Amino acid sequence: MREFTHMQAYTVKEASQNAARGGMVIAGGTDLLGTLKDEILPVYPSLIIDLKTIDGLDKIEEEGDSLLIGSMAKLADVAADDKVKKHCQALSEACNRVASPTIRNMATLGGNICQMHRCWYFRTPDDRFHCSRKGGSTCPAYMGDNRYHSIFGVQNGCIAASSHDTAPALIALGATIITSNREVLAEGFFAANGYRSCILEDGEIVTHVRVPKCKKSVFEKFALRRSIDFPIVNCAAALGSGGTIQVVMGGVFPAPLRLTAAEKAVEKGITEASAAKAGDDAMADASALSGNGYKIEIARAMVKRTLLRLEGQKA
């Protein structure tokens, strides 16, 4: 690992100003430190800005019809919080499925939603594959090993699949991401954006996540290993106001994908038949690459399983 200067920020403004000058922020460090060690990025930061010293960013508070969760709240704390379990069960379950207990006790909610994607070409040490996400002209995964990549095409030239576990839950619940500059719905926050997997700009920092309370919501994940593994496919569903159902899937596109066709299939209620139809309809536009056709069947089954769990959950 190369040398860098480490600073502790005490205000969001201080952290944002220094990040805008080329520094990178660190929360729990479970993603960033590995990135720096492997030198996967073409430009190595000279300054790392520690957010843990900013007071109040780790709180989980109730605000009327919503929960306000600080970006520095540990995933383990979010998963265990009674308010989150009662009003935002899908988020609690998603946080509880990230990696291992050790990592969940270090990693933060803000870090999870801002983590870089897991494509192994992007993550190869020493920037040996200078892909389109890092300013290159090609995507090695098109013709290479793409077994874990997108089955719904490209986003901004990239076919890596989203790997955030909390993101589908936040989108299904209608959450809002609050940054140092603006507020944006979670559905519009995640996007292939250079080396970032979200719309953050230089110097912009996530400070809080506002999550509306929800009577019923669930999260499901399929991974090769139950712990310390990223999703092959994950899925969240939530019962919104007026009886509408939101279904969001991760691991199938460079950003979490809202499955509107699945939502339409269960407009009149969730049954075994309508949940199966939701899975079929959701996968109608899927198109496999050379090595990931198996993901279509997994995703189809995950939609059905998630919806049936939602129907069986007590409000």
In a domain, 68, yes or no: yes
| Mean pLDDT across 27-47 | 94
Percentage of the chain lying above the pLDDT 90 cut: 96
Interval 170-179 mean pLDDT: 98
CATH number for the domain harbouring residue 247: 3.30.465.10
Structure tokens at 216: 């019923």
Task: Decide if pLDDT at 227 tops 90.
Answer: no
Q: What phi and psi, each to the nearest 5 degrees, are found at residue 168?
A: -60, -40
Residues 3-21 have a mean pLDDT of 97
Please give the pLDDT value at position 155: 95
Residue 288 belongs to a domain: yes
CB 2: neighbour CB atoms within 10 A?
A: 9
Residue 21 maps to a domain: no
pLDDT of residue 228: 83
What pTM did the predictor assign?
Answer: 0.97
pLDDT band at 225 (very low <50, low <70, confident <90, very high): confident
Confirm whether 259 is domain-assigned. yes
Task: Give the per-residue pLDDT at 314.
Answer: 73
Across the range 264-278, mean pLDDT stands at: 97
Q: What pLDDT shows up at residue 113?
A: 98
Amino acid letter, residue 233: V
**Considering only CA atoms, which of 292, 25, 24 is closest in space to residue 152?**
292
Q: Classify residue 291: in a domain, yes or no.
A: yes
**pLDDT band, very low/low/confident/very high, at 315 (cuts 50, 70, 90):** low
Tell me whether residue 127 is in a domain: no
Look at 22-26, 105-109, 135-139 and tell me which has the smallest mean pLDDT: 135-139
d(CA 273, CA 19): 51
Domain enclosing residue 188, as ranges = 60-114+160-312
**For the chain, what is the mean pLDDT?**
96
Inside any domain, residue 18: no
Cβ neighbours around 276 below 10 Å, total: 17
Helical residues (DSSP H) of the chain, grouped into ranges: 12-20, 32-38, 75-80, 82-87, 89-96, 101-104, 109-114, 166-172, 260-265, 272-282, 294-312
* Domain count within the chain: 1
240 domain-assigned: yes
